[in-house]
A and B are shown apart, each in its own frame.
Chain A
């Protein structure tokens, strides 16, 4: 039953990805103007446009282009840039443009995850252990305030305090590519702090709510009446049952860290993947946009799949069928 549920979940993810690829393809096809227009610009004549379109394969019917694109995607060939955005020029391979940006994004997301997940879960746990106490109210108030503020404002406030007032950290996080060790960490610190603040606030609230919900269930009351101490009630009786919801909120936040942090990247001039995609949109570099969109969607689908698997595996009914 467990294996079945997991296989089913994997198949669903696969189908979701296929559907997403169709949507992305149609979506980018709907954008007005095409690459040929952009490349030729002022010099465009009907003849030269037609010739270039034929050369780029843009004259093929849409479904043929879709399958060509999908086939290339599966073999790891993301195609060539058709406008040249970011670091590339016309004809640069997309993968060459994407890989360094993806590394930057993963670096940042990794640092945020390593700090925020343990921090947020402990704070959520702490708040739920003493509901209504001063520490709980402080945590609840702070997290709610942070969630209510847009992310760029959080970034600005941190810059104002740490970079402008105190002068401890640089206000931008530009990477030349040669930084190592402490230099790299120092450059990443500002965006990391911003994202940790935002991501933790959500995870803390979710952890607290989930645990409190479970703490009011009859089997916790039973544990109290059996004389089990508070620590064991939370660590042994409650936590096991909170895996599903908490892993889900963590996965959603991690997916957001890969694809949704464009504003924070912009504030700190950080060369991440989300910013590359925006550049691609501005130059109508459709293969680049498609590739970035696929990466973001795949991240969401895969992370949510992992989260769902965690809740499937943590469900005793599926793990130990009758």
Chain B
């Protein structure tokens, strides 16, 4: 039979607390051929994960199959008795979840979890399963395959865990893999490697796959067929080549437009300088910080080291780097949430106390924080007018009519209707909540907004709208932004200056155009090269390049001797880069790179 999986007029409903049913999946049909990768693409709420899970005869709690069939090898998995379902899972169909960190049981060894399914199903005995696992670790280019199985999940890195999940899924030699956003939570540099490993292992094993994602650029690298979903319905279905290059449906085109172009010079905003003054709005000088108990003023876990950044009034400084490089810590130190261990934070040229408890109210007012997760940043028991009203009272002293008027203005500023004032955060969508989160920070009439990954949790179309809003707000208010993101494309389209952090140090900073065009710091070059492009075959091309070879995921540590990037750097000089701290090379008043290679090396 040519089709491994046939999804036929599938309908799935959600049962609410009052017993009523809301349709989630509204009659979806598609097939998966042997050895083929079919991508399900759509925003959150499109039903893509729900559809993918139906291939295992499973629904999340609260959901019900209402009609239609999902046939695996011609057998309807929805109506199967539960014992038969159990035997099919892991053996015929296997699942890879978005977050490997949450999917691995912290109390059991990696080996036990990887081999559990085939051993339980009697496919392999423990010895054979261990052998198979080691083969898979090798195929997935994991380190120390022989002893990896004896380790616990917390002992390996995020990227490794993600690949280990692939090993867990493949150990039972399933005919069909269901991959649910398996690279979304990873850094671009790690994503590239994991994608490559997935792609080659799927080919090697000859399995079919359903690949669920919201990221068109990723899909273009791995899928043969693409199913575009919106609100539980198929919008477009075709080969990857056809959907990517000749999208037929309006919605697909909208999705394509929301894909930001690969980061390149010329995307940044031209700054007029109309808001600039003599001193920067916010400046950090020789800043060091970390977590844990301090010994001789040095924290146990150091995160930032000797960071110098100036944010001019009305400018936007993008801070970029892989997870763990100290981006969020930088924002926390600027806001005073985390007192620095060394160095200074200057606001309008005046030194701020390290701890926010000792800062004056007017100083607190001028630096506001916008957190990544609007869901957790907004109190679910407070109405929107209470959330926005509090900073208005506390910082500005507004009450009664004045406060109401200002709340209305703030809602208008973030382009939300007035009647939202009476609602609770739960009644809002993710993008709307993020707008309220922004409005709350703006209510204090700040001079500097610290935005920590504010659009990372949003769908691409919603995220793009929030960025547009931020641009308008910047123009209107003259507020300076510190814009933290792991996504270089987003930073490139919004910031006018970029700071590249690696292992707690600034390795390169300058105007957007300067950072995104040569000369590059080798790490910046790696970051730029790793951003997936919406183009078939990009993955293969990139893997050939020297930059991508440096992407191998390692534990990044702050160092006292030598350059922290030494062991990943393609142009490192042995004997120098591993021994001495690199000097700062100035290319321009505003553009600088921290590297042992001198200016002439970069310019040639």
Contact = CB atoms under 8 A, between A and B. Distances in A.
A99 interface: no
Interface string A218-244: 110111111111001000110011000
Contacts of B107: 240-241, 314, 316
Interface in B444-492: none
Interface in A287-322: 314, 316-317, 320, 322
A237 B108 CA distance: 8
Interface in B245-298: none
B116 A226 contact: yes
Contact of A226 (B61, B94, B99, B151): B94
A227 B102 contact: no
B437 interface: no
Contacts of A229: 86, 120
A219 B104 contact: yes
A236 B108 contact: yes
Interface string B155-196: 100000000000010000000000000000000000000000
A160 to B, nearest CB: 42
A229 B88 CA distance: 12
Contacts of B89: 224-227
Given A218-B102, A240-B107, A227 B154 contact: no
A217 interface: yes
Contact of B56 (A216, A225, A314): A225
Secondary structure at the A interface, as helix, strand, loop or mixed, is: helix
B587 interface: no
Contacts of A240: 105, 107-108
Interface in B66-103: 85-91, 94-95, 97, 99, 102-103
Given A225-B58, A227-B117, A317-B154, A219 B88 contact: no
A228 B155 contact: no
B121 A222 contact: no
Given A217-B102, A316-B107, A228 B116 contact: yes
Contacts of A232: 120
B117 A226 contact: yes
B537 interface: no
B88 A227 contact: yes
Contact of B117 (A219, A228, A236, A237): A228
B152 interface: yes
Interface in B362-402: none
A9 B154 CA distance: 23
B143 interface: no
Given A228-B117, A229-B120, A322 B102 contact: no
30 contacts: A216-B61, A217-B102, A218-B97, A218-B102, A219-B103, A219-B104, A219-B105, A222-B95, A222-B103, A223-B105, A225-B56, A225-B89, A225-B94, A225-B95, A226-B89, A226-B90, A226-B94, A226-B95, A226-B116, A227-B86, A227-B89, A227-B120, A228-B86, A228-B90, A314-B107, A316-B152, A316-B154, A320-B151, A320-B152, A322-B155
Interface of B: 53, 56, 58, 61, 85-91, 94-95, 97, 99, 102-108, 116-117, 120-121, 151-152, 154-155, 168
Interface of A: 216-219, 221-229, 232, 236-237, 240-241, 314, 316-317, 320, 322
